[in-house]
Structure 1
Amino acid sequence: MPEGHTLHRLALLHRERYAGAPVEVRSPQGRFADSASLLDGAVLRGAEAHGKHLFHVYGPDRIVHVHLGLYGTFAESPLPEETPRGQVRMRLVGATHFTDLRGPTRCELLTGPEAEAVHARLGPDPLRSDAEPERAWARIARSRTSIAALLMDQGVLAGVGNVYRAEVLFRQGIDPRTPGRALDRGTWEAIWADLAELMADGVRIGRIDTVRPEHLPEVTGRAPRQDRHGGEVYVYRRAGMPCLVCGAEVALEELVGRKLYWCPTCQP
């Protein structure tokens, strides 16, 4: 599932290409056809992300909410249009480009209050200027749940997925099984600041890079990472391999149905 930086990149791209002008909205697949007919020819006023959710705003009560889930994708192409291939839930056509949405978990037209209800059930997003990290800390500070599970709970903190979760805990030297209430305020503030910086880098470069300059391949002489996810990381998908800092074997276990990676030496 795409992590939060991907949705913020999409929101930025869609604002740049489509906002402020009328757009054509269609549903070649048909499952979004009724809503598309209400939006076709309307001006897209803006696009924003909150965690792993994307919102196309056409008016106070005309907001398209998209959640990509595990299989959803946006495909961006320059005009002229091509015949839709595959199950295109929504096609957005502007002056220079068109965008196809396939396979999302959610693609729905919401009223303003309905969209606000989606925002309300999400935790603060480190990439949003209106984020309130205190809301997340209030829940973490009283929870017996592990910090690893809390960081993945979108109601606690929005936008963090398995990669950012594993990497920020490594960078801060925190055992992922530590209960939330065992953390001190300074540790939480360091986690939040690190996530905000790492995720902003993800928006800027389009991939997740978490390795500090002194541990990069060109400095240490190791081979660059070869992985379909791209980017240089410390522990994610590196189970059984040597830690880039201490050389210990990266550990792996399952936590709340997801794979958890960490270094037992660097994260005691």
Structure 2
Amino acid sequence: MPEGHTLHRLARLHRRRYAGTEVAVASPQGRFAAEAAVLDGQVLRDAEAYGKHLFHDYGEHGTVHVHLGLYGAFTEAPLPATPPVGQVRMRLVGRAHWTDLRGPTRCELLDEEQIDAIKARLGPDPLRRDARPDRAWERISRSRSSLAALLMDQSVLAGVGNVYRAEVLFRHGVAPMLPGRSLDRALWTEIWADLVGLMRAGVRTGRIDTVADEHLPEATGRAPRQDRHGGEVYVYRRTGQPCLVCGTPVEHAVLAARNLYWCPTCQPG
């Protein structure tokens, strides 16, 4: 599932390419056809992201809410547009570019009240300037749940997914099963600041890199990471491989149906 930086990259791209002008909207698949008919030829006012949610604002005509889920994706290309391929839920055509959306969990036209309700259910997003990390701390500091579970709870913290969860805990030497209420407030402040920096870098580069310069392949002589997700990471999807810091094999477990990775030496329980 795409993490928050991916949605913020999409929001920036769609704002730059389509906002402020009339756009053509269609649903070749047909599942968004009625909504597309309302929006076709209207001005896309803005695009923004909140956590793993993308919003296309059409003013009084409503806002398109997109959640990509596990399989959703946008494909982008310059005009002229080519015939749709596969199950295209929504096609958006601007002055010089077009984009197709396939396989999202959500693609729906909502009013302002419905959009506000979605945002109200989400915790603070480290990539938003209006984020209030104290809101997340209030939940974490009272919870018996593990930090690993809390960081993935979008009502606690919006936009953090499996990769950022595993990597930020490693970078701060925190055992993933530590109860939230056992976390030190100063350490939470450091974790939040680190998430802001890591996720902003992800927006800039389009990949998740969490490894310090001294642990990069160029510095250590090891082979670069070979993984479809890209990016240099410490523990994510490195089960059984030696920790880049101490050499201990990376551990793996399943928590709440999601894979969890950590180093038992660098993140002692």
* Aligned-partner residue type, residue 3 of structure 1: E
How far apart, CA to CA, are the structure 2 residues paired with 1:247 and 1:22? Answer: 56
1:90 Cα deviation after fit: 0.3
Residue aligning to 1:37: 37
- The alignment partner of 1:65 has SS state of strand
Is 1:164 matched with 2:175?
A: no
1:179 Cα deviation after fit: 0.1
Is 1:53 matched with 2:56?
A: no
How far apart, CA to CA, are the structure 2 residues paired with 1:97 and 1:258? Answer: 36
Aligned residues of 1:23 and 1:94 also touching (Cα < 8 A): yes
Residue aligning to 1:141: 141
Is 1:99 matched with 2:99?
A: yes
Aligned residues of 1:3 and 1:160 also touching (Cα < 8 A): yes
Residue aligning to 2:218: 218
Aligned residues of 1:166 and 1:236 also touching (Cα < 8 A): yes
* Aligned-partner residue type, residue 170 of structure 1: F
- Identify unmatched segments of 5+ residues in structure 2: none
Instruction: Name the count of aligned residue pairs.
Output: 268
How far apart, CA to CA, are the structure 1 residues paired with 2:172 and 2:42? Answer: 47
1:184 Cα deviation after fit: 1.1
* Aligned-partner residue type, residue 254 of structure 1: V
How far apart, CA to CA, are the structure 2 residues paired with 1:173 and 1:220? Answer: 21
* Aligned-partner residue type, residue 25 of structure 1: V
Q: How does 1:171-210 map to 2 (within 5 A)?
A: 171-210=171-210
Residue aligning to 2:150: 150
> What is the alpha-carbon root mean square deviation over aligned residues?
0.6
Aligned residues of 1:61 and 1:112 also touching (Cα < 8 A): no
Aligned residues of 2:39 and 2:61 also touching (Cα < 8 A): no
How far apart, CA to CA, are the structure 2 residues paired with 1:121 and 1:14? Answer: 24
- The alignment partner of 2:21 has SS state of coil
Cα offsets for 1:176-201 (capped at 9, x unmatched) = 00000000110111110000000000
Q: How does 1:1-40 map to 2 (within 5 A)?
A: 1-40=1-40
- The alignment partner of 1:195 has SS state of helix
* Aligned-partner residue type, residue 246 of structure 1: C
1:60 Cα deviation after fit: 4.7
Residue aligning to 1:67: 67
Aligned residues of 2:88 and 2:100 also touching (Cα < 8 A): yes
* Aligned-partner residue type, residue 126 of structure 1: P
Aligned residues of 1:7 and 1:53 also touching (Cα < 8 A): yes
- Identify unmatched segments of 5+ residues in structure 1: none
* Aligned-partner residue type, residue 232 of structure 1: E
Residue aligning to 1:132: 132
* Aligned-partner residue type, residue 21 of structure 1: T
How far apart, CA to CA, are the structure 1 residues paired with 2:81 and 2:230? Answer: 30
Aligned residues of 1:28 and 1:91 also touching (Cα < 8 A): yes
1:18 Cα deviation after fit: 0.3
Residue aligning to 1:233: 233
Cα offsets for 1:126-152 (capped at 9, x unmatched) = 000000111100000000000000000
